[in-house]
Homo-oligomer: A and B are copies of this chain.
């Protein structure tokens, strides 16, 4: 059972928050395999982190382990889910139904737990009206109305770079404060609005940097194999 009021240090470090979903995924896998309890060591391995870090991360949520035993898988799933806000249902709108938007709409794991794609929105009349992943694509003119009507609180931007800032401004204006941005631009938003960025080309460039270094540094092999 849950301790009623654990006035837990509401300041969970960002680095910890970023790892909680990782632990949660590992725990879900264990729950499916009917594993009842898990040690910090085992869970850490499954999540790809070291066990001291995992223990410190979990300690920020409360004291949910049992010394000498480990953590109860189901209980920990619940606690982490609650902490992340996954015990409620989040309505997500995807703006921009190009290749990427379409992929996101169809991507099952993307909306597995706690999230629900509630709207698809695009500006192209060619696409508006189409059914994708069981949803009707609505026109960008309806943006504000749709967001309010469906109670959307998280917006995914999969628009072209040039359109991202404008769409961003509009959704912020109707009260959205959480945005996941796939467009390769730096969005400017007022304080209090969270923007997370996923940038494929940046990831590739970081890989290229390390790859180059492994290959002998710049100006060495142009044609290596």
Contacts and interface: CB of A to CB of B under 8 A. Distances in A.
B203 A198 contact: yes
Interface string A176-202: 011110001010100110101011111
Size bin of chain A's contact surface: 35 or more
A86 interface: yes
Interface of A: 5, 7-8, 10, 17-18, 20-22, 24-26, 46-48, 82-88, 90, 92, 98-100, 102-104, 106-107, 109-112, 114-115, 151, 153-154, 161, 177-180, 184, 186, 188, 191-192, 194, 196, 198-214, 217-219, 221-222, 225
Q: How many copies does the complex hold?
A: 2
Given A46-B186, A154-B204, A211 B92 contact: no
A211 B5 contact: no
B17 A114 contact: no
Contacts of A191: 225
Contacts of A109: 161, 184, 200-201
Contacts of A111: 201
A106 to B, nearest CB: 5
